[in-house]
Amino acid sequence: MAVRDGKPDPVVVEALADRQLARRTAAGIALARAGAAKLPALRKLLQDPKPQVRLLVGLALAQARQKEALPVLIALLDELPEAKIGEVENLLFTLAGEKAPEPPAELWLEERKKYRAAWDDWYRAHKDGLDLGKLADAARLTGHTLVLLLDEGRAVDLDRDNKPRWQVEGLKFPLDAQYLPGDHLLVAEYQGGRVSERNRKGEVVWEKRIPQPLVAQRLPTGNTFIATSNHFSEVDKSGKEVWSQTPPLGGRIMKAVRLGNGHIACIAEVGSSRFYEIDRDGNVLRNFPVQVSTSGGRIEVLPNGHVLVPEKDNDRIVEHNRKGRRVWEAPFEQPIAAVRLGNGHTVVTSYQSKKAVELDRNGKPVWEYESATRLTRAWRH
């Protein structure tokens, strides 16, 4: 509605100069998303006196491939409260990849200034070759949602209206799944003793027999990462194990994921539950205590290294920074899995309420799907 007949709507353009922060922010985001990102009145909001306006409009303009939004967002790294800089970091880490500056251990004033200066240096060195299309790709979702119904042994792919597109039945206690191209499904069947790849008819097109798998993740190489309670492994397309590792300190694995840099992130119980990041040789790179009481599935590690933890017994979702400090949380009844979407929202599933819910940045529900049985995992794709 922000653009009509190819022209920005005058009412929305007028709102760019509104005295109310929420109105001019909403107008800026709408016009940026509607293809009017080069409008001078819109770009003027990058110099708005309110940092919240510069943040939200800057994020929208960056996703609209407007490179001049990046220095504005980088400048906010030492101006915004620590809990607010995660969105900026995620955007920057998505663009920078392995060339990203190392985050400081603590975000005190002097460290934040140095952190911002390091990102300034990165931008000057790489701005000419940046591909902002990566941001649009990261945020682009079809609106389809894959859910696992644990007790029914069923995976259902939902359209935008929560109507089933297709489903796979006969799964034996599925604890993790991944949507693959061509409407295929990779699933860890805990009681079935296997990781299987199914087509939309439910036919098995690939499998790896392994006792009680908790995690199944198809890697960009075509290999598959698998975690059980006491073992990490990677198998090739023929099912041959090409790498394996035991958990840190001999602990019990509860959740895990292979990161893009080859490291393993996991929740392991070593007396109590802790988050660990380890390299391919088993060296512990960081760890901190977390409050997790359920096993199965992946742990969500964000591009900036933050970790999203479902605290079932505390009825909340918590985002920890790289050192384990809580920087964001949202109340939710008995969460057991949480996934961060490209738009900054979080999809959460509940142990008790048998539903999947999408929460906005303020923890407000904006979408939900309810089942008659336990719905333990959900992913938007």
Look at residues 310, 248, 318 and name the one whose alpha carbon lies nearest to residue 285: 248
81 pLDDT band, cuts 50/70/90, is confident
Prediction pTM value: 0.80
Residue 125, CA distances (Å) to 4, 118, 191, 280 in order: 39, 11, 52, 30
Averaged pLDDT score across all residues of the chain: 92
**Parallel, antiparallel, or unpaired for β 145-149 and 7-8?**
unpaired
Tell me, what's the pLDDT at 98? Answer: 80
* Whether the predicted pLDDT of 139 surpasses 60: no
What's the whole-number mean pLDDT along residues 230-243? 96
What's the whole-number mean pLDDT along residues 3-9? 90
132 pLDDT band, cuts 50/70/90, is confident
Task: Encode pLDDT of 25-78 as tens digits.
Answer: 999 999 999 999 899 999 999 999 999 999 999 999 998 999 999 999 999 999
CA distance 328 to 356: 20
DSSP assignment string, 300-368 = EE-TTS-EEEEEGGGTEEEEE-TTS-EEEEEE-SSEEEEEE-TTS-EEEEETTT-EEEEE-TTS-EEEE
Say if residue 117 is exposed, middle or buried (CB neighbours under 10 Å; 0-12, 13-18, 19+).
middle
CA distance 152 to 173: 8
Q: Pick the residue with more confidence: 133 or 139? A: 133
Helix (H) or strand (E) holding 41: helix 40-43
The CATH 2.40.128.630 portion of the chain extends over 302-381
Task: Encode pLDDT of 195-223 as tens digits.
Answer: 999 999 999 999 999 999 999 999 999 99
Q: Which of 141-155, 282-296, 327-341 has the lowest mean pLDDT?
A: 141-155
Look at residues 323, 316, 318 and name the one whose alpha carbon lies nearest to residue 300: 318
Tokens read off for 375: 């719905």
CA distance 50 to 331: 28
End-to-end CA distance of the chain: 25
135 pLDDT band, cuts 50/70/90, is confident
Task: Encode pLDDT of 102-126 as tens digits.
Answer: 877 666 778 889 999 999 999 999 9
The CATH number fitting domain 302-381, selected from 3.30.70.1380, 3.40.1280.10, 2.40.128.630, 1.10.10.60: 2.40.128.630
What's the whole-number mean pLDDT along residues 79-86? 81
Task: Find out whether 335 and 349 touch, Cβ atoms under 8 Å.
Answer: yes
